Structure 1
Amino acid sequence: MAQILPPLKPIPIKDRLSVLYVEKGHLDVLDGAFVVVDKTGVRTHIPVGGVACLMLEPGTRVSHAACALAGRVGTLLVWIGEAGVRLYSAGQPGGARADRLLYQAKLALDPDLRLMVVRSMYAMRFGEAPPQRRSVEQLRGIEGARVREMYKRIATKYGVEWKARNYDTKAWDAGDLPNRCLSAATSCLYGVTEAAVLAAGYAPAVGFIHTGKPLSFV
């Protein structure tokens, strides 16, 4: 029997909606497209392949057909916490494309290119060019010192008693209130950032300023 419809091909990332959040519904496939069915039975269609990343919040169920369709059209499925503050799992990053991963690896493995990226990230974070003739390790140390000073300055501005950045991941209650608040906010930011890195087709573990950890790039 002749095929009626042409085979599905991934839509270029630049032509897609970047991210769509799905909450409290059943993600399935109907008439060859994604459909979200809520508890009342109302169906909301999502253009097949028209979204780069579907963020699946708590209360969302996903059918096998939806996972298979996402793989074919290059839509990343990411299982997240409420409002994206946690990332639990992800499908195939980058829509099965390797070009961005290879580019990221090339930049990370070449010492000169890596330093160039680190300097660009420094300038983006602090709004000024980094000092000349500094290694990655030296820039990492300078960045850490500036961030610690930033904590002090912001604490003074808002009247918060600040001693130092000090926390123990295994003893949450041992930290003071400012450190616990900062740790909670950082954890939320990590979840959102990791989802963005995966949706863009890059690897969270391949970092530039930091290396050797699962979230070095985050």
Structure 2
Amino acid sequence: MTTVSRRGAASPRELARIGDRLSFVYLERCTVHRDANAITAEDVEGVTHFPSATIGTLLLGPGTRITHQAMAVLGDCGAGVVWVGEHGVRFYAGGRALTRSSGLAEAQATAWANRRTRLDVARAMYSLRFPDEDPSGHTRQELLSMEGRRLKDCYRRESARTGVPWRRREYHREDFSAGDAPNQGVTAAAQCMYGIAHAVVAALGCSPGLGFVHSGHERSFVLDVAALYKTDIAIPAAFDAAAEGPEDIAARTRRALRDRINQTRLLDRCVDDIKNLLGYSIDRGSADDAPSPDIVTLQSDHDTLVDGGRNYGDEIIW
């Protein structure tokens, strides 16, 4: 008889820090299952084991099947799970926060709910992306124009660096192969970056939908975070892969991107950037710096928090 359903959830102390995890693991044409607290991938060549607590994002390509037990352990470990369509064009994700605290989610919601602070965070994001320009005082329209110019400059710069011809950005949602090699690489890199960003956002307990630059999508904040590293990590990796030739561009882009992520310690950087953008202090507790217990409080008057799990009856709390 299986005992999977009777296993307790892992505590934060038992889980690997986000920055110490593999950025992503890509699998295709296999069955993903669970063996104790490891993830297994079985294909025609045999079975491969992956410690589930060390996975940042699991990318499931065409021909993959995953069991309920495997999803249970991945969710318990706070790993992102992304179903990637043919050539990595389509995207679907899920996961569970590593933290047991709502501190970062509340900080995000507070900053997002006020129009002024929402713009402040957006400006701070542009400042991270383009450190040689000062976005303070700019309107959102001016920030968008600034972003468009800098992206065009980045494409031209990477084209000159690698010798890969570049005409313009083209994204064909229904036909990945319709784009040229650098466009295919940029698309593949973007999907990987969305998976990594989603995993970090979910692991920190933030809301994927409350964006500061992007809006109206269930992953608006994920798109915000992924965009922070577009010009210095994602696009250069895509052009490096395209410089090697047009064959198997998606797989080579993933490998080039993984190398850059490891070299730049992107996961650590991503965690720190999110906390700083949301004004979240380390000493308030963190999913990545200190284990947090399962503490549930109740909101009372005058911004007072009281212990949960008890009946207060007619008590008056000040």
Name the TM-score, length of structure 1 as normaliser: 0.68
**Structure with greater helix share of residues:** 2
Counterpart-to-counterpart distance in 1, 2:82 and 2:59:
5
Cα contact 1:58–1:81 (8 A) shared by 2: yes
Per the TM alignment, residue 82 of structure 1 is displaced from its structure 2 partner at its CA by 6.2
Structure 2 match to 1:207: 211
SS in structure 1 at match of 2:70: helix
2:91 pairs with 1:88: yes
> Aligned AA for 2:196?
A
2:21 pairs with 1:17: yes
CA RMSD of aligned residues (A): 4.0
Structure 2 match to 1:7: 8
Per the TM alignment, residue 76 of structure 1 is displaced from its structure 2 partner at its CA by 2.6
- Return 5+ residue gaps in structure 2 as ranges: 224-318
- Return 5+ residue gaps in structure 1 as ranges: none
Rate the CA distance shift 1:187–1:134 in 2: closer, same or farther, 3 A: same
SS in structure 1 at match of 2:210: coil
Counterpart-to-counterpart distance in 2, 1:82 and 1:187:
12
> Aligned AA for 2:64?
T
Counterpart-to-counterpart distance in 2, 1:6 and 1:161:
53
Q: Residue by residue, what CA displacement relative to the aligned partner does 1:131-170 show, whole Å, maximum 9, x if unpaired?
A: 44223343223333444566678789979686xx697979
Cα contact 1:76–1:94 (8 A) shared by 2: no
2:137 pairs with 1:136: no
Per the TM alignment, residue 186 of structure 1 is displaced from its structure 2 partner at its CA by 4.8
Structure 2 match to 1:67: 71
> Aligned AA for 2:8?
P
Flag the structure with more relative contact order, 1 or 2, with Cα contacts below 8 A and sequence separation at least 6: 2
Counterpart-to-counterpart distance in 2, 1:105 and 1:89:
24
Identical pairs, percent: 25
Counterpart-to-counterpart distance in 2, 1:99 and 1:192:
27
Cα contact 1:26–1:61 (8 A) shared by 2: yes
Structure 1 match to 2:124: 120
Mapping for residues 1-218 of structure 1, pairs under 5 Å: 7-10=8-11, 11-12=14-15, 14=17, 16-18=20-22, 19-40=24-45, 42-81=46-85, 85-95=88-98, 98-148=102-152, 184-200=184-200, 201=202, 202-217=206-221, 218=223
> Aligned AA for 1:8?
A
For these two proteins, the number of residue pairs brought into alignment is 206
Per the TM alignment, residue 54 of structure 1 is displaced from its structure 2 partner at its CA by 2.0
